[in-house]
Amino acid sequence: MRFDDLPGQTAIITGGARGLGYSLATALAGQGVKVGLLDILPLVGDSAATLAAEFGVETAGVVTDVTDAASVEAGFAAVRDTLGTPTILITAAGVTTWGDSVDVTPEEWARVVNINLTGTFFATQSFARPLIGAGATASAVLISSMSARVVNVPQRQTSYNATKAAVDQLGASLAVEWASEGIRVNAIAPGYFLSDMTRQFTEKNPELAADWIARIPLGRMGEPRDLHGLVLLLASDASSYLTGQSLVIDGGYTAI
Ligand SMILES: NC(=O)c1ccc[n+]([C@@H]2O[C@H](COP(=O)([O-])OP(=O)(O)OC[C@H]3O[C@@H](n4cnc5c(N)ncnc54)[C@H](O)[C@@H]3O)[C@@H](O)[C@H]2O)c1
């Protein structure tokens, strides 16, 4: 599929060094979008170089901690200086931790909230600042989760579920606030996808993957490329009347 308005735009992707963020970077680069990757992993530079070599687009990779507003602002400035002002944002930086709620330490709770919620907010702030008042046409896609709406089982991940629900409402709030500025804000809410985040659990416990898959009507976990069509649509003007929504993409998991 081709989206004619995308070539030549600049996208910025938090958590873009690997996983779903990097996969979405390949989807955008494949449309001729220049891509800036921000991630706490030093690998982010190599990821950006691989992307440029594979797709022939300009890229940048900047080590950034999304929990630190100054680091996020510096990461955005570095991308803007090399690739131009980003008009597409994808927030993919996120973490999860599992355990009984009564045992979660204040530090574990704060880490998940700071990365998943506050880090997403800082990214949207830095994205919007140069666009406000500039007559922009721009789109932000926040990576939420189906965990914003359902409680995944059998694992216990209260902090993750709560932060993803907050990300959905963050996106809706910003969509309303920035609609008149030409900035659309939507979220996507994936079900179970194959990535480093999920492999850390399923590789140690293959029965867990079997349990998840048994609950998915389409009969498999998602591959990162299963998100490409939806995210390209949201990034493009082809969805110009779509804002303030969180769209579930889960193989039917939450339809049951
Ligand atoms: N894999 C799934 O099944 C699934 C399902 C629903 C939602 N999601 C969401 O998709 C997003 C991507 O997850 P993934 O599965 O690709 O996991 P992943 O662990 O492969 O990728 C997450 C990325 O975020 C980065 N990151 C973590 N803390 C950071 C920080 N402080 N600053 C900057 N970057 C940081 C990591 O280094 C990593 O590159 C997450 O928000 C996750 O919650 C994943």
Whether the pLDDT of residue 246 is over 90: the answer is yes
160 is catalytic: yes
Helix (H, G, I), strand (E, B) or coil at 37: strand
Mutation test residue for ligand 1: of 46, 146, 197, the one with most atoms within 8 Å of CB: 197
Helix (H, G, I), strand (E, B) or coil at 143: strand
Residue 248: predicted pLDDT: 98
d(C-alpha 54, C-alpha 103), whole Å: 45
Residues with CB under 6 A from ligand 1: 14-15, 17-21, 39-41, 64-67, 92-95, 115, 119, 143, 145, 190, 192-193, 195-198
Count the alpha carbons within 13 Å of 235 in the hemisphere toward its beta carbon.
34
**Tell me: the pLDDT tens digits for 137-180?**
999 999 999 999 999 999 999 999 999 999 999 999 999 999 99
Residue with tokens 């493009």: 236
Q: Is the pTM of this model over 0.85?
A: yes
Whether the pLDDT of residue 200 is over 90: the answer is no
Token representation of residue 201: 């659990």
Identify the band that residue 188 occupies on the pLDDT scale cut at 50, 70 and 90: very high
Q: Could you say which DSSP state residue 218 is in?
A: T
Closest residue by CA, ligand 1 atom 40: 94
* Neighbouring C-beta atoms of residue 248, cutoff 10 Å: 20
* Neighbouring C-beta atoms of residue 7, cutoff 10 Å: 12
- List the chain domain ranges: 10-192+224-246
- Give buried/exposed letters for 9-29 (b at 16+ CB in 10 A, else e): bbbbbbbbbbbbbbbbbbbbb
CATH of 10-192+224-246, one of 2.40.50.140, 3.20.20.70, 3.40.50.720, 3.40.640.10: 3.40.50.720
d(C-alpha 11, C-alpha 25), whole Å: 8
Ligand 1 atom at minimum distance from 146 CA:
6
Mean pLDDT of the 209-228 span: 96
